[in-house]
Amino acid sequence: MLLKLAWRNIFRNKRRSLITTSSIIFAVLFAVFMRSLQFGAYGNMLDNIVGSYMGYIQVHNKGFWEEKTIDNSFSVEEIEHLTSSENITYLSPRIEGFALASFKDESKPVALLGLDAATEKEHINLDEKVVEGHYFSAEHKGLLVGKGLRDIMKLKLGDTLVFLGQGYQGSMASGLYPIVGFIDLKTPELNKRTVIMNLDHAQELFALPGLVTTALVGIDGDDWQGAQQEVIAAIDTNALEVMNWQEMLPELQQLISVDKAGGTFVLMILYSIITFSLFGTVLMLTEERSFEFGVLVAIGMGKNKIIQVAILETILMAIAGVIAGLVLAFPIVLYFNINPINLSGQMQEVVEKFGFEALIPTSLDPSIALTHSGIIFLIVLVVNLYTIFKIKSLNPTTAMRK
Amino acid sequence: MIKVTDIHKTYDDGKVQVHALRGVDVEIKEGEFTAIVGPSGSGKTTLLNVIGGLDTPTQGSVSVSGIDIAKLSENELIDFRLNHIGFVFQSYNLIPVLTAKENVEFLMLLQKRDEAERNERTTKLLKAVGLEDQINKKPNEMSGGQQQRVAVARALASKPDFVLADEPTANLDSKSTANLLDIMLKLNEEENITFVFSTHDQRVIDRAKRVITVEDGKILSDVTK
């Protein structure tokens, strides 16, 4: 009966109920879409830079991150035992060096990345980033060149790059390598300066037999903090350093934090408006019906039951608003997940200046919808404190005199 | 059944004190059909409210069916009203979103009576007030007279000890008034239901079996016909 009363009361003032429900629908739609876009953008950044390139955790020779020289290298044998840990799925050894790359009369300083082709293919799908030519194989040995560098140096498949640089302990690093493919690393900055070769070629080029500068640590699940502690506990930290993506890319972490705070501020404004809208409804509902509440108390209906009816009304409107909001938000979020927003003009320049791809896909993380639905219900409960207070303090004779 | 002893009620808004009741003593027995009459501001509604446990006296005691209602807590009073008193208001005050049947059934639902009993009693009461063919109409689809008859049926639904009616005919035309009085008198005579009215409607006063006249918060006369 209480539910029936609450349900029918919603239709007593259809316009007001419609306005209230619409404001909830708008809030849910806007909040879910905005947060999906934000989290999608972060996810994309992390995926492009961290998940598919740097890894969440890296092990280096102590001091490598401060001074990225070939001399700061270590033997991968020192950490091979890590793969026996439960949360560590793989190790991918790399050499990160620098050299001057020349083709015809063009020379550019490039970041030379030597990696284990099979491991990177298996775990971070590096082969899927090849946009022209082939990934490394028995038949295709040579270089994968960032597509940005390709355009700058006007390179083609089969062209040969000449490298000149400094190898291990002051030795000369030089060599000629054919281009077997061009690669899109999803960040314009990386594309403009990265050249990838097989680890053994890089070791040969830099005169680093058996040594690497970096080892990516693959983790099981999302708990990179836990995995980092596990690695720290398992290796000699006097000789090696273990860094997570936030330590390696503090600017990315800061950018995400600042952007999140901005988003939270916008959402706070939105939710303040919704709170006042809902409070307006509750205020009118309570004031308009104080006579009726007085009558109900007079004829013997307990105040708690009246409170239940009044709260049920707003909860039912909130349920309708939240469901409708989510139903409307889902196809939009899904659409932009499949067809990410492609930034253009100034926005594209700004984003690319930070080294990120100017594509923003939305996130399909269900926790976004759950969080914002929860916030709406919390607001409903908070504004209903007024209803509870008014009904609890209601005097039937005073209420019926109004 | 109802025993009011030396009741005083003073309203104090901080500036002015209004003495609505000044030492009222009255006893109403089962089966009475009593009208409390008097001009506006005489204290008749206050007396009715005190008897109905809607207002607490400043001084004195009100005993209803042997219970001193002035000593009950707020929740106990609400429960007491639900189970012992039926109310009929001047403006009908039915629940607008419920049908006639649901309005009558409402108090029985609060009393947690079973469905079969609710259905039987609702049908019987709506038949008694001549509205058996209007059960699915909502208040805004009925005339004032019909709404007041539903209100009477609602007041009786909880099987109260007595019914308090505050100026029940004030908003009704002559025909509806006569019709309502016929129904209430019939219920009083055939089912021994006690009715206590506050009114200044001469048509009600004429048909009341006992008339208590209140003026300036005191009982001026108490006449049993």
pLDDT, tens digit (0-9, with 9 covering 90-100), for B81-92: 999 999 998 888
Over residues B170-182, the mean pLDDT reads 85
Strand blocks (E) in chain B: 2-12, 17-28, 33-37, 59-64, 67-68, 85-88, 162-166, 194-199, 210-215, 218-224
To which H or E segment does residue B10 belong? strand B2-12
Does pLDDT of A353 surpass 70?
A: no
For chain A, which residues make up each domain, given as ranges?
Answer: 2-49+252-401, 63-236
Query: Residue A76 has what pLDDT?
Result: 86
- A391: amino acid identity, one letter: I
At residue A68, the 3 state secondary structure works out as coil
CB contact under 8 A, A300 and B52: no
Query: Residue A402 has what pLDDT?
Result: 62
Query: Residue A44 has what pLDDT?
Result: 81
Query: Residue B24 has what pLDDT?
Result: 93
Residue A78: DSSP 8-state: G
Query: Residue A355 has what pLDDT?
Result: 61
Over residues A246-265, the mean pLDDT reads 85
Over residues B33-39, the mean pLDDT reads 92
**Model confidence at A354, in pLDDT bands (50, 70, 90)?**
low
Task: List phi, psi (to 5°) of B78.
Answer: -60, -45
State the first-to-last Cα distance of chain A, in angstroms, to the nearest integer.
Answer: 27
Per the structure block, which two tokens stand in for A110? 């490039």
Query: Residue A348 has what pLDDT?
Result: 76
CB A298 within 8 A of CB A400: yes
Chain A residues within an 8 Å CB radius of B83: 300
Give tens-digit pLDDT for A364-389: 989 999 999 999 899 988 998 999 99
- CA-based nearest residue to A45, from A290, A252, A199, A242: A252
**Model confidence at A27, in pLDDT bands (50, 70, 90)?**
confident
Over residues B1-28, the mean pLDDT reads 89
Over residues B16-32, the mean pLDDT reads 91
**Model confidence at B100, in pLDDT bands (50, 70, 90)?**
very high
Gap between the Cα atoms of A115 and A102, Å rounded: 21
B142 vs A278, more confident: B142
Per the structure block, which two tokens stand in for A381? 């409960």
Query: Residue A274 has what pLDDT?
Result: 84
Over residues A122-149, the mean pLDDT reads 88
What is the complex's ipTM, to 2 decimals? Answer: 0.90
Query: Residue A302 has what pLDDT?
Result: 93
**Model confidence at B18, in pLDDT bands (50, 70, 90)?**
confident
CB A38 within 8 A of CB A371: no
For chain B, which residues make up each domain, given as ranges?
Answer: 2-224
Does pLDDT of B164 surpass 90?
A: yes
Does pLDDT of A155 surpass 90?
A: yes
CB A313 within 8 A of CB A282: no
* Sign of torsion over alpha carbons A108, A111, A114, A115: negative
How many Cα atoms within 13 Å fall on the side-chain side of residue A53?
A: 25
Give tens-digit pLDDT for A196-253: 999 999 999 999 988 999 999 988 777 888 888 888 988 888 999 999 988 888 887 8
Number of H helices, E strands in chain B: 7, 10
Does pLDDT of B138 surpass 90?
A: yes
Q: Of A8, A292, A297, which has the smallest distance from its Cβ to B78's Cβ?
A: A297
Contacts of A196 by beta carbon, 8 Å cutoff, 6+ apart: A112, A113, A114, A115, A126, A143, A144, A145, A183
Q: Give the best residue of B56, B95, B105 to mutate against chain A (max A CB count within 10 A).
A: B95
Does pLDDT of A390 surpass 80?
A: yes
Over residues A323-345, the mean pLDDT reads 91
Task: List phi, psi (to 5°) of B56.
Answer: -100, 140
* Percent with pLDDT over 90 in chain A: 45
Gap between the Cα atoms of A221 and A244, Å rounded: 15
B95 vs A47, more confident: B95
Q: Which residues of B touch A (CB under 8 A)?
A: 49, 52, 54-55, 75, 78-79, 81-83, 85, 87, 89, 93, 95-98, 106-107, 109-110, 154, 158
Q: Which of residues 271-310 of A touch B (CB under 8 A)?
A: 292, 295-303, 305
- Homologous superfamily of B2-224: P-loop containing nucleotide triphosphate hydrolases (3.40.50.300)
Gap between the Cα atoms of A15 and A11, Å rounded: 9
Gap between the Cα atoms of B148 and B139, Å rounded: 10
Over residues B97-121, the mean pLDDT reads 93
Give tens-digit pLDDT for A64-81: 989 888 999 999 888 888
CB contact under 8 A, B54 and A305: no
Over residues B37-48, the mean pLDDT reads 90
Pairing of strands A211-212, A74-75: antiparallel
CB contact under 8 A, B107 and A297: no
**d(CA A265, nearest CA chain B) in Å:** 41
Query: Residue A280 has what pLDDT?
Result: 86
**Model confidence at A342, in pLDDT bands (50, 70, 90)?**
confident
**Model confidence at A346, in pLDDT bands (50, 70, 90)?**
confident
Does pLDDT of A347 surpass 80?
A: no
Hey, is the C-beta of A140 within 8 angstroms of any chain B C-beta?
Answer: no
A397 vs A51, more confident: A397
| Max intra-chain CA distance, chain A | 99
